[in-house]
């Protein structure tokens, strides 16, 4: 797959995408939205913001889905991981309390990032050669950066890719391996993410 992000004069980033790339990115962002789920209802306009915060009753348990668990990890680690040596019950209790007050907001932000990707792709019209230039300015580069990161985390969870995995191993998968298309998407998204970071 082709395009990489390049800096725009005056700030922002641009990338040329063909129809297939637009379709893949849009499909992945929509699937991410479905995975994250619907948002919480908006509080009433006259609601006290402090009361809304402390009435927050988000989840206290980590998600069962491995992809969601990667997107919404425990804040204080887990027994055997970072923070090992501490009381496991204390770690669980602190993580549950932190999750209760933060996960809904984090889900909202991730949903907004993915929606920004879908909306900006929907506004593209490929030219005669089948390519369109996507220009990201304002808050859009950061929205895209967040969504690209979330997409890579989700795909990594589905492929059971860990931080220790080498990209070279992924490149050597045979063409008939059913994981190959998702691995190629994972690597492509990594290239987009890296070049977007460089432009910022």
Which two structure tokens, joined as six digits, stand for 136?
């990201």
pLDDT tens, position by position, 126-184: 776 778 999 999 999 999 999 999 999 999 999 888 766 655 667 788 888 888 889 88
Alpha helices in 46-131 (DSSP H): 49-54, 66-71, 88-122
Least Cα distance to 141 among 115, 107, 106, 117 occurs for 117
pLDDT tens, position by position, 108-126: 999 999 999 999 999 998 7
C-alpha to C-alpha distance for 56 and 112, rounded to whole angstroms = 19
pLDDT tens, position by position, 10-69: 899 999 999 999 999 999 999 999 999 886 655 566 776 666 555 557 777 888 899 998
* Band of residue 100 on the pLDDT scale cut at 50, 70, 90: confident
Residues paired with residue 16 on neighbouring β-strands, in sequence order: 133
Residue 25 · residue 136 · CB < 8 Å: no
pLDDT at 1: 42
pLDDT at 77: 66
Terminal Cα-to-Cα distance of the chain (whole angstroms): 22
């Amino acid at each position: 797959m082709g395009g990489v992000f390049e800096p725009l004069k005056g700030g922002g980033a641009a990338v040329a995408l063909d129809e297939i790339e637009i379709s893949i990115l849009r499909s992945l962002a929509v699937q991410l939205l479905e995975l994250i789920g619907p948002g919480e209802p908006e509080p009433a306009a006259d609601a006290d913001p402090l009361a809304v915060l402390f009435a927050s009753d988000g989840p206290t348990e980590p998600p069962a889905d491995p992809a969601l668990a990667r997107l919404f990890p425990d804040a204080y680690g887990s027994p055997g991981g970072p923070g090992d040596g501490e009381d496991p019950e204390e770690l669980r209790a602190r993580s549950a309390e932190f999750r209760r007050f933060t996960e809904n907001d984090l889900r909202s932000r991730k949903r907004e990032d993915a929606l920004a990707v879908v909306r900006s792709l929907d506004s593209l019209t490929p030219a005669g050669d089948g390519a369109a230039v996507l220009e990201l300015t304002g808050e859009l580069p950061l929205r895209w950066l967040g969504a690209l990161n979330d997409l890579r985390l989700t795909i990594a969870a589905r492929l059971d890719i860990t931080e220790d995995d080498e990209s070279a191993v992924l490149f050597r998968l045979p063409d008939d391996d059913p994981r190959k298309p998702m691995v190629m998407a994972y690597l492509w998204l990594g290239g987009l993410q890296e070049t977007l970071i460089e432009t910022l």
